Structure 1
Amino acid sequence: MRADIPPQDMEAAADHAAPMERAERIVTTLLIGKLLSANGPEHLCRIRNISTTGMLIETHRPLGFGAWVAVELRSGEKLQGTVAWCGTGRAGVQFVTPIEVDRILAEAKQSATVRVRNQPRAPRFDVRCPASISSNGRYIDVVLENVSQSGARIAMARPPKRDTEVILSVPGLPSRRCTTRWSDDAAAGLLFLEVIPYHELDAWLDHVEVN
């Protein structure tokens, strides 16, 4: 039985999906990406298992049967396909063309190893909402322009210099200690000292307008 399709959905999916050769499933919770669809904003998602022909994703975004979706990984690669079945918080996606599972998992493992050293860029979501930073007891209003599990971009007049430690406060999210990775005349990039947990960011994105 295919691991990405619940038993109750097997018969319905078989009635509609094009026949494809059954592929071995490799279970993983390491792949977190940006969910893209034809008529909706970007969302956070997690790939729970994957094969050469399809994947099971976790997402709170409702997805219709047969809809086109893509999951953009940290590397920028997009896994594209159509929704073969959908349920509460989960969906099965059949790829447009077969993928190289071993290569994708190897790159994910490499990213996880490098992350400790270089903090590679996690999937970012463009937003625009009020926030504030504090440093040495001084609070400054800023605009949050994008956010990921590991960092954010803020717009403000006279941003703090690089390697300045600040606390970022965003409505709906716990405050987070950060350091500035870069700054220019009107914006700064922040690196969180502790990443935002997947479920925490996913729930917040559901209640904020994503560009």
Structure 2
Amino acid sequence: MGNALHVDETQPSARLASPTDIEQRDAPRYTLLIRAAKLVCEAGEYLCVIRDVSESGISVRTFHRLPEAQGMVVELQNGDRHELEAIWQEEDRAGFRFAQPVDTARIIASPSRFAKRPIRLNLHSQAQVRTLDGRCVDVEIVDLSQQGAKITCPCRFALDERVKISAPGLPETNAKVRWRKDGGCGLIFEDTYQYGDLARIAARLQRPD
């Protein structure tokens, strides 16, 4: 997933803006071709792709409708967080205003001392793990990403044990036990989920009954 960036075609110049340009123009608007992030509110955590950013706000693709929420925070892959105010929403897109002034150059560069990791969603969803010998164990998913999940469970699975995990909203998925500690296990999926597919799965897992 790349982080390519170009100036929006509505600007008079098609070249990439420098930090100096950003300081000299009033609220310049940029198009982020693909910038993964997550939206956090009291209803849960949701994957999105930031498409446009300016000093005043952002527009994002969400892959599904967002729940009604009093406040929203966008968290970038480097851990930076910004409070948002909802402005508009369509089926799979939404626009937000920044609640506080932001450094657009930092959002664009997204600097980090560490290698960017896949975005992980913190959630609480009941699920079931089935082993190859036919055991079925009720578990709770507490962390979900494209590559795997963290679960809490009442029993201990063997390291490298192959299992299948499923939940309402999550199709049965082949996985392997990567680690275990203090009543929790880390599962790595045999097949990585596409970003948009995981976004829709996470929305279903966090949907109120």
TM-score, structure 1 as length reference: 0.68
The CA deviation at 1:183 is: 0.4
Distance 1:169 1:208, change over 3 A: closer
1:138 aligns with 2:134: yes
Moved more, 191-200 or 101-110: 101-110
- Percent identity for Structure 1 against Structure 2: 24
Distance (whole Å) between structure 2 residues aligned to residue 21 and residue 159 of structure 1: 58
User: What does residue 82 of structure 1 align with?
Assistant: 85
Superposed CA deviations along residues 22-56 of structure 1, whole A, max 9, x for unmatched, are 312132223231x123x533333221222333210
The question of whether the paired residues in 2 share the 8 Å contact of 1:56 and 1:93 is answered with yes
Root-mean-square deviation (CA), in Å? 3.3
The CA deviation at 1:110 is: 8.9
User: What does residue 176 of structure 1 align with?
Assistant: 173
- What secondary structure, in the 3-state scheme, does the structure 1 residue paired with 2:174 have? strand
Amino acid at match of 2:82: L
Count of matched residue pairs: 183
The CA deviation at 1:167 is: 2.9
Distance (whole Å) between structure 2 residues aligned to residue 63 and residue 185 of structure 1: 35
User: What does residue 32 of structure 1 align with?
Assistant: 37
User: What does residue 6 of structure 1 align with?
Assistant: none
Distance 1:52 1:121, change over 3 A: same
Distance (whole Å) between structure 2 residues aligned to residue 159 and residue 194 of structure 1: 23
TM-score, structure 2 as length reference: 0.69
Amino acid at match of 1:21: D
Distance (whole Å) between structure 1 residues aligned to residue 157 and residue 76 of structure 2: 31
Distance 1:102 1:177, change over 3 A: farther
Distance (whole Å) between structure 1 residues aligned to residue 109 and residue 181 of structure 2: 36
Distance (whole Å) between structure 1 residues aligned to residue 136 and residue 49 of structure 2: 34
Q: Greater share of helix residues, 1 or 2? A: 1
Gaps of 5+ in 1: 4-19
